[in-house]
Amino acid sequence: MVLTLYGNSYSPCAKRVAQVLVEKQVPFKVVIIDFKKGEQKAASFVEKQPFGQVPLLDDDGYFIYESRAIARYIAEKYPDQGTPLIPKDLRARGLFEQALSIELNDFDAYISPPVHEVIFKPFLGLTPDREAFDQMVIQLEAKLDVYEKILSKQKYLAGDELTLADLFHLPYGVLLGPAGSNALDTPKRPNLSRWFKELVARPSWQAVKDEFKSMD
Amino acid sequence: MVLTLYGNPKASCTQRVATVMHEKQVPFKLVTIDLSKGEHKAPDYLEKQPFGQIPVLDDDGYLIYETRAISRYIAEKYADQGTPLIPKDLKAKGHFEQAASVEQANYDAYAGKAVVEKVFKPMFGQTPDDAVAERLLTSLEASLDVYEKILSKQKYVAGNEITLVDIFHLPLLSLLPLTGRDVYSTRPNVEKWAKGLIARPSFQSVKDGVKSTA
């Protein structure tokens, strides 16, 4: 049975999973959960995803939610097809876990607030606060300066091989430019810019970035 | 060579890693980094941890930072001793990862910051932002309502066996009552689960301050 992924085109987290499915060459079909109709709060959905969030994966009756968990599950279930995304060696895997934690605590925590402020607030009928945005970007840039140091010594965040940790940066990362900051694409941080540009160019991201759709 | 943990005896993140060390029966030496003296921003420390944060683990020259990464590394390296903390089966592991993601996004994101505002800031003579703290605690309580549902059907957050993810919720579980919000009395399943974790000898060994065990 083909995997079913529940989400929508304006959910960065849904695209995170879609990209990994493409990278691992795993076909999938999508079911749209429309937030405007409150479909994420429907009893039948909440039964499977009790936090009422997307995405959610149905693997032939096995349900799993949280985009990074779904992505790991896919990478672990299909280790021998598509791009290898999780190292096998114990120490390399430790540095992979370190990179995943950095993505969450030192990137996502700092890029989500400014992206929400400018890109998502209007969807909720609220007015973005540009000054707050600028302050949040300053804090993000302090973290990106450390990324620059790390990426000046190695090709990817966990070492010299691409892993899931790198890919996880894309869905919010690509929204920073449209939100009004070039912090990920500036000569001030050439290694960071090189790393991010290369990730954006990957065919798997190009395939999923615009529309959340079935790929089977 | 004995593992060296760079951290601070009373810091939550250091206590979290130390709890895992105790669960896995792994001896370690603690090297205290004094945050009040800015030791975490010293150049030789930044060589180990470029974000200038604690803790860092030194395993015979192999350096790894980020609490949950260190914990996972220890649980994998010493899989066959102490408490098993990471499931082996693919589907059980998927639900483990799901719970781990929920712990960070829907629990720590609120509980961690609320505890900083209400408990740590006053401790260091700073003024808490009560409005922010109240909003965070309200969001936390909404998540704990979901935890209540989940824990009514299974013993631990990833299933019926304890895993690393339950441990990751400590030490904040023990600090939440200090925020002034009663998160437990209306959530009996959460309360039972939290009390059980707090009572574990591994956490009891570190809650008043982490000490070297080697």
- The two beta strands, A28-32 and A56-59, are unpaired
Residues A67 and A130 in one domain: no
Question: Nearest residue on chain A to B158, judged by CA atoms?
Answer: A64
Predicted confidence at residue B158, as pLDDT, reads 98
Residues A59 and A108 in one domain: no
Whether A165 and chain B come into contact, CB under 8 Å, resolves to no
DSSP class of residue A120 equals I
Contact B11, B53 (CB under 8 A): no
- The two beta strands, A56-59 and A3-7, are antiparallel
Closest CB to B95: pick one of A64, A97, A146. Answer: A64
CATH code for position A59: 3.40.30.10
Residues A29 and A132 in one domain: no
Is A143 within the bounds of a domain?
yes
Whether A101 and chain B come into contact, CB under 8 Å, resolves to yes
Tens digit of each residue's pLDDT (9 = 90 or more) over A9-34: 999 999 999 999 999 999 999 999 99
Is A214 within the bounds of a domain?
no
Contacts of A76 in chain B (CB under 8 A): 90, 93-94
Residues A108 and A168 in one domain: yes
d(CA A180, CA A194): 19
Which of A84, A103, A123 is where one domain is finished? A84
d(CA B120, CA B170): 16
Whether A34 and chain B come into contact, CB under 8 Å, resolves to no
d(CA A116, CA A124): 10
What does pTM read for this prediction? 0.97
**B109–A98 C-beta distance less than 8 A:** no
Name the maximum alpha-carbon separation found in chain A.
Answer: 50
Which of A62, A84, A106 is where one domain is finished? A84
Whether A146 and chain B come into contact, CB under 8 Å, resolves to yes
d(CA A21, CA A208): 10
Going from the N-terminus, what domains does chain B have, and what CATH number goes with each?
3-83 (3.40.30.10), 90-200 (1.20.1050.10)
Contacts of A72 in chain B (CB under 8 A): 94, 97
Residues A94 and A49 in one domain: no
d(CA B153, CA B188): 13
Q: Is the pLDDT of residue B124 over 90?
A: no
Owning domain of residue A50: 3-84
Residues A136 and A77 in one domain: no
Predicted confidence at residue A123, as pLDDT, reads 86
Tens digit of each residue's pLDDT (9 = 90 or more) over A142-182: 999 999 999 999 999 999 999 999 999 999 999 999 999 99
ipTM value, please give it: 0.96
CATH code for position A120: 1.20.1050.10
d(CA A184, CA A44): 40
Residues A28 and A126 in one domain: no
- In chain A, how many domains are there? 2
Closest CB to B94: pick one of A73, A98, A146. Answer: A73
Q: Is the pLDDT of residue A4 over 90?
A: yes
Can you give the three-state secondary structure of chain B, one letter per residue?
CCEEEEECCCCHHHHHHHHHHHHCCCCEEEEECCHHHCHHHCHHHHHHCCCCCCCEEEECCEEEECHHHHHHHHHHHCCCCCCCCCCCCHHHHHHHHHHHHHHHHHHHHHHHHHHHHHHHHHHCCCCCCHHHHHHHHHHHHHHHHHHHHHCCCCCECCECCCCHHHHHCCCHHHHHHHHCCCCCCCCHHHHHHHHHHHHCHHHHCCCCCCCCCC
d(CA A204, CA A171): 12
Q: Is the pLDDT of residue A129 over 90?
A: yes
Q: Is the pLDDT of residue B55 over 90?
A: yes
CA distance A120 to chain B (A): 18
Residues A197 and A111 in one domain: yes
Question: Nearest residue on chain B to A49, judged by CA atoms?
Answer: B146
Closest CB to A106: pick one of B51, B76, B98. Answer: B51
Predicted confidence at residue A1, as pLDDT, reads 85
Residues A193 and A173 in one domain: yes
Whether A64 and chain B come into contact, CB under 8 Å, resolves to yes
Contacts of A97 in chain B (CB under 8 A): 64, 66, 68-69, 72-73
Residues A125 and A37 in one domain: no
Looking up tokens 């810019």 gives: A193
Which of A84, A117, A139 is where one domain is finished? A84
CA distance A23 to chain B (A): 19
Is A157 within the bounds of a domain?
yes
How does the average pLDDT of chain B come out, rounded?
97
- A–B CB contacts, 8 A cutoff, strictly below: 78
Contact B168, B16 (CB under 8 A): yes
Residues A101 and A195 in one domain: yes
Tens digit of each residue's pLDDT (9 = 90 or more) over A73-126: 999 999 999 999 999 999 999 999 999 999 999 999 999 999 999 999 998 899
Predicted confidence at residue B140, as pLDDT, reads 98
Residues A113 and A170 in one domain: yes
